[in-house]
Amino acid sequence: MVRGGLLETLDAAQAVMEERLGAFRPDVALILGSGLGSLAERIADPVLIPFGEVPGMGTSTANGHVGRFVAGMLGGRPVLAMQGRLHGYEGYTAQEVAFPVWLMERLGAATLITTNAAGAINESYRVGDFCIMADQLNFTGRNPIVGTEPDAMAPRFFSMLDAYDLALRQLARETAAELAIPVQEGVYLGLLGPSFETPAEIRMFRAWGADTVAMSVCEEVIAARHRGMRVLGMSLVSNMACGVEGASPSDEEVHEVAKTREEDFCRLVEGILEQL
């Protein structure tokens, strides 16, 4: 966890990571969400660094989140992947959730690809679909830029217009079409969790314009945009949201669906990386 000063802790974490990585420097950061961590197994010549060995990093307690950095080549690009992420519902602050994003940017990553499993609010979506994030609604009630230290990293007031990079979204759509992998594109809403949403909340979120919902991503994206990173976000629709078609989501369902879409997810992300 981040203890003491944020900037000092980032300095210490960067020093440890650079020592472990040697001359390797990533240009793409990957965050692999629930059920999607198997992509990290495809990284060539991997350097494995458990979160717990990095100053300031919390440990993953979520089901299926390995909780380590994996550095190496994927799709012809030098990448630094988080095999698992940190969530607010695990007890981490917004800055602790954002910490690895700031760290990966310091190590050289100018692009962030963040992924997760999400529930579908949009009734035209189907379980197993992939959805490119076009925009987000941060309903966590938190923002990692609050405080004085992030203001020393970059100006605290910054635009979130096109938070999800237009060119990267187009590249993702084109790559999916080439691979014959159908994709949706819509607005993602992030919550603190860990309880799933109520049917009344889902009806409200639909009225707000949300297409998918889950318990991650928003704070990561805010941190990335604060530092000027380009961002691509993509969800696996692992379930229909609570009350949609009578759905009552469960953690087990999320991981079962992810297993069935593992191969296409890996093909899609690798294809995107190959054309960056």
Residue 250 marked in a binding site: no
Q: How many residues does the chain have?
A: 276
Asked if 82 and 58 count as a contact pair (C-beta separation under 8 A), the reply is no
Two structure tokens written together for 201: 């909340």
Residue 36 marked in a binding site: no
Instruction: Determine the residue type at 175.
Output: T
Helix, strand, coil content of the chain in percent (nearest 5): 40, 25, 35
Asked if 169 and 184 count as a contact pair (C-beta separation under 8 A), the reply is no
Residue 117 marked in a binding site: yes
Residue 65 marked in a binding site: yes
Classify residue 157 as exposed, middle or buried by CB count within 10 Å of its CB (0-12, 13-18, 19+): exposed
Distance CA 45, CA 27 (A): 16
Beta strands in 23-168 (DSSP E): 28-32, 44-50, 68-74, 77-83, 111-120, 130-139
Residue 134 marked in a binding site: no
Residue 239 marked in a binding site: yes
Two structure tokens written together for 174: 């084109």
Distance CA 32, CA 2 (A): 22
What are the binding residues?
34, 65, 85-87, 117, 197, 216, 239
Residue ranges at the known binding site for phosphate: 34, 65, 85-87, 117, 216
Q: Which residues are annotated as a binding site for a purine D-ribonucleoside?
A: 197, 239
